[in-house]
Amino acid sequence: MNILRALPLLFVLLVLFAVFIFLLSSCSSSEQEYPEGNIDVDSEIYIVPVGDVDEDLLYPLIDKLEKRFTTTVHVALDKGIPVPEDAYDYDAQQYVAMYVLYELLTKVEVPENDKILGVTNVDLFVPESDRGFIFGQAHVGKNAKGAIISTIRMNPKSYKGGREDKELLISRMTKEAIHELGHVFGLKNCYEKECVMYLPKNRKEIDKKTDSFCLPCQKLSRPSPKDKVVKPPEL
């Protein structure tokens, strides 16, 4: 009699165990399908200096960009352009990011399907934003062509009492380059603070996040029929 009473409980436990094994295998499958925080793109990327940018800061970006986007990345010094003077806002004493980005995307020619990453050392801002500055900006949409990042707010030496730290600067540049190019390839800001698509408000938040795409962002970049795409909340 006691055995008969225990059968329903035993059945429930077996079902729960089966569900657990299924979820575990699904998780492992997703991790294998989206390894190491990378996304696949079908465009090559050209890194272009905008203004007087130390080329020693550009070449270190190649390896990580090639890894994260699984594509070929070029440093195109010959395509470099000056910072457009008409992008300067005398009241803010900064450069309007969208004007600098527009100059970059209209003056620099690359193969039709490829993308441009501009790197500048001038201070960028968006006039209608409540933020005093931005680390970068991307051209977004179906025909998105490129993005730009600024080194000045990421450079430890730019702040009072700051010391030169090229390794830290390159780390920050790499994360923000991947972030802005992520927008170019269709991704939005992510709520996960460790995801590279998280929108940092300051340098400390750049330092805390990784240079990897989180799993939901990876899935958004190339949805699989096996996976239900879960969209990260926008900031």
Q: Positive or negative CA dihedral for 57, 192, 225, 185? A: negative
Q: For residues 60 and 65, what is the distance between their CA atoms, to the nearest angstrom?
A: 9
Q: For residues 104 and 50, what is the distance between their CA atoms, to the nearest angstrom?
A: 8
Could you say which of 55, 112, 180, 205 is catalytic?
Answer: 180
Cα-based angle 43, 175, 76 (whole degrees, multiple of 5): 45
176 catalytic per annotation: no
With CA atoms as reference, report the closest residue to 194 among 185, 183, 205: 205
Q: Where on the phi/psi map is residue 161: left (φ > 0), alpha (ψ -120 to 50), or beta?
A: left
- Strands 136-138 and 146-150 come out as antiparallel
**Active-site annotation, residues:** 180
